[in-house]
Structure 1
């Protein structure tokens, strides 16, 4: 066969010139995924009131966000997206979810010891619906804050600046919640933002931070019925719970994430993951 009849291999179509600079790419992706969060979170919350629709909505929202991330990043950066590779999805997601559940259970155990939390009866159906809600939220927020913000800031200024910037903005977003406080937002920045950023840096996959985020939020609200980050949108869990005693121990109306115990547990876990990232040569 002659060269004239050979088919040319397909080439990936790149973005327009104005989207190629790092800053433009960052802003564009932030706007897209902030829009995803703004549009999908109310729908997820409404769907979570029924266990079946809650699970279906959570899976659909997660799949949509992951598909959008893969397509947009591949187009903008002209590369594949190994950070959400299917090969690492199952083990890292399971591992992260178990870590998240374990860290919150340890936090709650310390709250029980300090007489800062009381449990009452709840609903199995509410637990299932809340799992769907938290699945969608975890995927969307981790794509936004770690897949976009942390990763692109790190590309220019390194891992330390990326960890601080993504953590602070992640905590700051929670100031929009109804019962938000400055201390609560700072606590979330440490135990959530730094922890998830360190998890991404240690593994270079988004599945571990997604799993940790999902496991923590699901245990917090879906199992133990606590308020998550000052938000009043969750439908409940297997149990219902009420804070008791000083807010520094119980978290008060913001929920357990504003407890000093949560900050200590999340902060120590983040430190250990940063150490692992450095040991593996993943700290840039």
Structure 2
């Protein structure tokens, strides 16, 4: 994976530039993809981020209460040290991926398909491409990644076409999971339950899937009141 990092990093730099060039040729801006920098989108990003972090807190807290997860208190300093740099990376990844998958790709697919079909196709591509970044480690998470893509499409739809809410949710989940993983603060003593807990990869476990479904249901309920 370390050997892939330069390639992955370069792709995350190049992709927005390519999309900017494509939009420029069509005399458009990133706003057509749902990315417009204004106070409203910043509020949506913060809201989505808060929802994601709160959801992870509840998820890991519940696993701890059930005895399926152990916190290593000696690694707390490592966690605190990991939070700032991981936040920057999470925001960068989230803006780029939302711009590409829930922005450009979804828009292109909607030219030929309904929103539902476009959402399924873009989410499937989003999930499969994670095999490039994570290799075989991503295989158990493919279903979860596909569902994550669908939830993020829902977030854009509920946010009137803006990527703000989707970016916030994505960044919050990446930040929380990556920070805990970097600090190696969690241990899952019962490996036979990894299909429930995900064993460090929430999207590979039932609890992580339920978190996504509940998050989507709550957003839908609030938006349609």
Kindly indicate whether residue 163 of structure 2 is the aligned counterpart of residue 206 of structure 1: yes
Aligned to 2:187: 242
Aligned to 1:85: 36
Question: TM-score, normalized by length of structure 2?
Answer: 0.79
Kindly indicate whether residue 111 of structure 2 is the aligned counterpart of residue 111 of structure 1: no
Asked which structure has the greater RCO (Cα within 8 Å, sep 6+), the reply is 2
Give 5+ residue unaligned stretches, structure 1: 1-36, 45-60, 227-235
| Higher relative helix content | 2
**1:72 maps to which of 14, 19, 22:** 22
Question: TM-score, normalized by length of structure 1?
Answer: 0.64
**1:182 maps to which of 120, 127, 139:** 139
Aligned to 1:261: 207
Is the CA contact (8 Å cut-off) linking 1:194 and 1:267 kept in structure 2?
A: no
Aligned to 2:151: 195
Distance of 2:5 and 2:110 partners within structure 1: 25
Give 5+ residue unaligned stretches, structure 2: none
Distance of 1:90 and 1:249 partners within structure 2: 34
Aligned to 1:162: 118
RMSD of aligned alpha carbons = 2.9
Kindly indicate whether residue 47 of structure 2 is the aligned counterpart of residue 95 of structure 1: yes
Q: Deviations over 1:105-150 (max 9, x none)?
A: 2222232233222222142222212112212111111111111122
Deviation of 1:221 after TM superposition, in Å, equals: 2.2
Q: Deviations over 1:1-36 (max 9, x none)?
A: xxxxxxxxxxxxxxxxxxxxxxxxxxxxxxxxxxxx
Count residues with an aligned counterpart.
211
Kindly indicate whether residue 82 of structure 2 is the aligned counterpart of residue 126 of structure 1: yes
> How has the CA–CA distance of structure 1 residues 138 and 110 changed in structure 2, closer, same or farther, with 3 Å as cutoff?
same
Distance of 2:138 and 2:91 partners within structure 1: 25
Which 4+ residue blocks in structure 1 deviate beyond 6 angstroms? none
